[in-house]
Amino acid sequence: MNGRQFEATGDGLWRLGGDGSPGFELDKPASGLFTLTPFDGFTVTSLEAVPGEYPESMALSVLRRPHHADDGAEVSFDCESRIPFGVPVMIAHRYKLDATSLAVQTSFEMPHAFELRSLTAGGLRFHGDVAAFSIVKLPGAEGVVKEPAMKAFDCADGAELYRGATPPLALNLRLADGRTVRFETGKDIWRWANAARIGDGTSTFIIRREGADLVYTWSLYAFAPADAETPPPPGRNWNITWSLQWGEPETNDGPFADVFDLRAECTDCACAQGVENALKKWVRTHLASASGGDVFAVSVGGGRFCRRAGHLDRGRKKDLPHWDLPALREFSRWANRQLRKSGAKLVLTFGGEG
């Protein structure tokens, strides 16, 4: 990623310029949306959000702001778009990219006067030579998440691979050449599945095959009152986070300069402030001695699903479903920003997943 930066183009897009893949084009196919090309011949395209009656493709560009790390290893982009029809709605996306991942936060600003009859947050279209897939479903109990085995992507056109009121934690794709692409729901699962808390509405998440493509759609809210007299709820602000990772299949090969065994050292999930503090303290103890080529590892074992709201600084809530693998990936990005100054790096290892 060294030397990469966003460049405005003559056709009104923002593209990543510089060395090699991944390719990233913003405002394509529509305002605020993107087309990601992690590998030649494989694309991930974001689908437009539809808050109420008007889709994101009808939005007007309000803000486009690129950010670049000093060492060129990370780039990010803030964009805001405004749907000016009816009661205006703002849609904001923050994209963060490095050589093998994309992290996204999407925010909806819906005024109180907006009638929340429906909110589709968009979704993703995966286009390329997918050979196999697996879907990591939301577990029924707290604990380390088990990763299912891959299945051949040989279902019929139009087949639904998943439908549920909660999103799966992850979607894994293996291409014909063995490389992998992975979607992960952010740690904020409760925000994706907030329709039940608001009431009088449903959420629906669907993964299906469309021709050679795999399409994943996100309906956060559809008004479904018990009687015709019930008014729709007022608009509100709504945020969701998610990420993509891509590359060769992950391995746990060493040797490592040091290893932090997360599950042995910490009983809480990594969303808890105490666990984050312990991880960052461990990294800081190595900063002075780290040298070029050193690789440090956090042995994860697997993401942990948890419901304790106190881990999220929301102590007055009792039950907020979340999982800590996205939090660990964010910690890894932070750690590598520190270690890169010495030519060292940190990796997450997943030995022991089910």
CA distances from 126 to 34, 215, 229, 244, 329 (A): 12, 6, 41, 11, 22
CA distances from 270 to 49, 249, 252, 283, 324 (A): 31, 24, 20, 15, 5
Q: Walk me through the domains of the chain, giving residue ranges and CATH numbers.
A: 5-247 (2.70.98.10), 258-349 (no CATH)
pLDDT of residue 164: 97
pLDDT in tens, the chain (354 residues): 445 788 888 888 898 876 655 899 999 998 889 999 999 999 999 999 999 999 999 999 999 999 988 777 889 999 999 999 999 999 999 999 998 999 999 999 999 999 999 999 999 999 999 999 999 999 999 999 999 999 999 999 999 999 999 999 999 999 999 999 999 999 999 999 999 899 999 999 999 999 999 999 999 999 999 999 999 999 999 999 999 999 987 777 779 999 999 989 998 999 999 999 999 999 999 999 999 999 999 999 899 999 999 888 765 667 899 999 999 999 999 999 999 999 999 999 986 443
Amino acid at 263: R
pLDDT of residue 31: 86
Instruction: Check: CB of residue 275 under 8 Å from CB of residue 260.
Output: no
Q: List alpha helices for 195-272, DSSP H.
A: 195-198, 262-265
Dihedral through CA 148, CA 149, CA 154, CA 158, nearest 10?
0
Distance of CA 266 to the CA centre of its chain: 24
Taking alpha carbons only, the member of 1, 54, 41, 9 closest to residue 28 is 9
pLDDT of residue 310: 87
pLDDT of residue 315: 58
pLDDT of residue 1: 43
pLDDT of residue 353: 41
178 conformational bin, left if phi > 0, alpha if psi -120 to 50, beta if neither: left
Amino acid at 233: P
pLDDT of residue 110: 98
B/e letters for 228-242, b = 16+ CB within 10 Å, e = fewer, are: eeeebbebbebebbb
Q: State how far the Cα of 75 lies from the Cα of 68, in Å rounded to an integer.
A: 5
